[in-house]
Amino acid sequence: MSPPRLTGALRSFSNVSKKEDLAEQVYDLKAKRLKRQELFAREGLTWQKIVHFCSEHQDKVKQHAASQELKSLLVAAKQIVGDEHGQEAIESAGVFLFETFHNRDHVGTEETRAIKQMFGPFPSSAAEASCACVARLVAQVGDSRVEELIQTQKSRHDPQRTSSFGRNIDFSYEGYTLHPLETLSESSVPDKDLDF
Task: Closer to other proteins by CB, 36 or 136: give it.
Answer: 36
Binding region for other proteins (CB under 8 A): 2-11, 13-18, 24-29, 31-32, 35-36, 39, 113, 116-117, 158, 160-161, 163-166, 169, 171-184, 187-193, 195
Cα separation, 97 vs 138, in Å, equals 13
Task: Closer to other proteins by CB, 21 or 59: give it.
Answer: 21
Total length of the chain: 196
User: Which residue in 132, 145, 130 sits closest to 93, CA to CA?
Assistant: 130
Cα separation, 31 vs 99, in Å, equals 23
Smallest distance, other proteins to C-beta of residue 124, A: 15
Smallest distance, other proteins to C-beta of residue 139, A: 31
Smallest distance, other proteins to C-beta of residue 15, A: 7
Q: Which amino acid is at 114?
A: A
Count CB neighbours of 3 within 10 A: 5
Task: Closer to other proteins by CB, 8 or 123: give it.
Answer: 8
User: Which residue in 127, 125, 126 sits closest to 111, CA to CA?
Assistant: 127
Task: Closer to other proteins by CB, 25 or 144: give it.
Answer: 25
Q: How many helices (H) and strands (E) does the chain have?
A: 8, 0
Smallest distance, other proteins to C-beta of residue 60, A: 40
